[in-house]
Amino acid sequence: MDSEMLNRHYSLLPETYLFSRIAQKIAAYRERHPEREVIRLGIGDVTRPLVPAVIEAMHRAVDEMATADTFRGYGPEQGYDFLREAIAAGEYAARNIDISPEEIFVSDGSKCDVANIQELFSPDCRVAIPDPVYPVYLDSNVMAGRAGEPLADGRYSRVRYMACGADNGFQPEPPPPDTRLIYLCSPNNPTGTVLTRATLEKLVAYAQEIHAVILFDAAYADYIRDDALIHSIYEIPGAKKCAVEFHSFSKSAGFTGVRCAFTVIPREMETLRRMWLRRQTTKFNGVSYIVQRAAAAVYSPEGRRQTRAVIRSYMDNAATIRSGLQQCGHTVFGGEHAPYIWWQLPSGIKSFDFFDRLLDKCAVVGTPGSGFGPGGEGFFRLTAFGDPGRTREALRRIAAMTE
Ligand code: PLP
Which of the 8 DSSP states describes residue 246? E
The identity of residue 315, as a single letter, is: M
Nearest residue (by CA) to ligand 1, atom 2, is 219
pTM above the 0.75 mark? yes
Q: Is 111 in the pocket of ligand 1 (CB under 6 A)?
A: yes
The identity of residue 124, as a single letter, is: D
Q: What is the structure's pLDDT at 401?
A: 87
Ligand 1 centroid – CA 219 distance (Å): 6
Q: Is 171 in the pocket of ligand 1 (CB under 6 A)?
A: no
Contact in structure between 87 and 303 (CB atoms under 8 Å): no
Q: What is the structure's pLDDT at 17?
A: 64
Q: What is the structure's pLDDT at 403?
A: 67
Number of CB atoms found within 10 A of residue 47's CB: 15
Q: Is 110 in the pocket of ligand 1 (CB under 6 A)?
A: yes
φ, ψ (nearest 5 deg) of residue 220: -115, 15
Ligand 1 centroid – CA 110 distance (Å): 6
Give the whole-angstrom CA distance, residue 361 versus residue 298: 41
> Which of ligand 1's atoms lies nearest the C-alpha of 110?
15
Domain segments of the chain as ranges: 3-49+304-402, 54-302
Q: Is 14 exposed, middle or buried (0-12, 13-18, 19+ CB in 10 A)?
A: middle
Q: Using alpha carbons only, give the angle 401, 339, 307 rounded to the nearest 5 degrees.
A: 135
Positions in the chain short of pLDDT 70: 16-17, 403
The answer to whether 3-49+304-402 and 54-302 have equal CATH topology is no
Number of CB atoms found within 10 A of residue 49's CB: 10
Contact in structure between 210 and 179 (CB atoms under 8 Å): yes
Ligand 1 centroid – CA 67 distance (Å): 35
Give the whole-angstrom CA distance, residue 148 versus residue 272: 25
Q: What is the structure's pLDDT at 173?
A: 97
Q: Do strands 159-163 and 104-107 pair parallel, antiparallel, or not at all (unpaired)? A: unpaired
Mutate to test the pocket of ligand 1, among 114, 222, 250 (most ligand atoms within 8 A of CB): 250
Considering only the top CATH level, what class is 54-302? alpha beta
Contact in structure between 217 and 366 (CB atoms under 8 Å): no
Mutate to test the pocket of ligand 1, among 112, 114, 251 (most ligand atoms within 8 A of CB): 251
Contact in structure between 379 and 373 (CB atoms under 8 Å): no
CATH architecture of 3-49+304-402: Alpha-Beta Complex (3.90)
Ligand 1 centroid – CA 250 distance (Å): 7
pLDDT tens, position by position, 7-23: 999 999 977 667 788 88
pLDDT tens, position by position, 209-253: 999 999 999 999 999 999 999 999 999 999 999 999 999 999 999
> Which of ligand 1's atoms lies nearest the C-alpha of 256?
14
Helix (H) or strand (E) holding 368: strand 367-368
Q: What is the structure's pLDDT at 1?
A: 86
Ligand 1 centroid – CA 246 distance (Å): 9
